[in-house]
Structure formats: C-alpha cells, structure tokens
Amino acid sequence: MTIPEERYAFIFDMDGVLTDNMRFHARSWVELFRDHGLEGLDPDRYLVETAGMKGLDVLRYFLDPDISREDGERLTELKDFLYRVSSRGHIKPMPGLHPFLKKAGLAGIRLGVGTGSGAKNTTYVLDLLEASHYFHAVVGSHQVREGKPAPDIFLKAAELLGVEPSRCIVFEDALPGVEAAMRAGMSCVGVTTTNGPDAFAPCRNVIEVIDDFLHVDPLALLERLQESRTAIL
C-alpha cells in the first residue's frame, strides 16, 4: 500500500468516539429537562437529533428556542456537572484506541480532537482516558462561534493541525457531527456507539463504519480517503 507523502490528519469527536459515554450525557439532559417541565424526553431522541451539538443549541432545540445565552450557559454547566458525577468511574477508552492512536502517530498522521464539549468536560474525559499526549490540537465548543452541525470545530482543528480539510478524516458517532464534517469538506468514519450502521448509509462523506478501533488500520483508511477523492474528481 503506497500513501502519497502529503500531510494528513485524523480528527476525532470525543464523546462516543474516544469513549462510549453518550448514554451519560443523554441521561443528564433528561434529568435537567424534567426539572424544567419537559417530561418524557426519550434519551435516544437526544442522541439521534442533537448529540454533539453545543449545550445552548440543545436547550434551544428541546426546551426554549428563545433561551438567553446566559441562561443557556448556566443550565449547560448544571447538566455537565450531573454528567461528570454520573460518569466518573465509567469513562474508559474505546477498545483498541491507544494502539490505533500510537500507530497513526508513528505513520506521521496528525491527530486532533474536535468536540462539542466545553473546556471542563474535555479536560475531564481526556485526562481519564490518559490520551491528551497523542493529540496535536484539541478544539472544543467554547473555541468557536457555531457548534455542530456547522463546520467550525473541524475547520479550526484542521487549521491548528496545518492540514487541508480534504486531507482530514473525521471520526464521528453523531449525525450532526457527520454533517459538520461534510460541510467542512472532510471525509468521515462512522462509529456505531450512538447510531447503527444503517444511519450512516445516506451520508456521502462516510468512507467506513466501525464499532471500535481494534482492527482498524490507519493506512487503510488513508487509502480509502484517496479512493474517495479520486472518485469525486
């Protein structure tokens, strides 16, 4: 297998990709919404429709489209506190994650994180995963104007990594994140922690669907990227 000597990057969503933790986010949102009069929200609906989005956007989607930025930040911080309390002790690396990151790094692939989480949650998760040292850039929702499905997070990560968007592969579990990658001009690997394989089928930028990182070859993914780029030209 021959990969051109160009700079490439892998950009990972964090929640649901580096670790299988999205159920804790969903339960925390459900508890918060219940306290504010929204009963019966299905956690799966949150996961499918708004997972990966900024907290303010989630609140405006489900609770109140006119909620102020100040109230949104306050409620998001409360939800994040509930999430950290409920998930502590359960945050584990996805199977095969560390060997995959190590192999990709040794191959010269630039590695970054592009997450809808804020600063506290990002530090919390990456520290528990003992994964921070693998990444050349980490971009959270607090560093961009628009969250997913806007492309801002992934474009910022690519800029910091010094890699053209067309040479980036995004790893995503959530459909808003897949859309964000597409709008950024990036190919995507779907991770089946939040959505099953069928959910990724209509997504034109998804080049591979994986359950975990155990049997994933970084260079094989670059070959798939090259094939997909050639098909578009």
Q: Would you give the DSSP letter of residue 94? A: P
Bond from prior residue into 218 cis (ω within 30 degrees of 0) = no
- CA dist 225 and 145 (Å) reads 29
β-pair partners for 206: 188
Beta strand 187-191 pairing with 206-210: parallel
Residue 229 in tokens: 């780029």
Contact 56, 29 (CB under 8 A): no
- CA dist 13 and 169 (Å) reads 11
- For residue 168, give the nearest of 185, 156, 150, 180 by alpha carbon: 185
Q: Which of 15, 20, 57, 173 is catalytic?
A: 15
Q: How many other C-beta atoms lie within 10 A of the C-beta of residue 1?
A: 8
Instruction: Find tokens 């989005």 and name the residue.
Output: 53
Q: Would you give the DSSP letter of residue 193? A: T
Q: Which of 13, 20, 57, 152 is catalytic?
A: 13
- CA dist 198 and 153 (Å) reads 25
* Catalytic residue status for 35: no
* Catalytic residue status for 13: yes
- CA dist 51 and 133 (Å) reads 26
- The set of catalytic residues is 13, 15
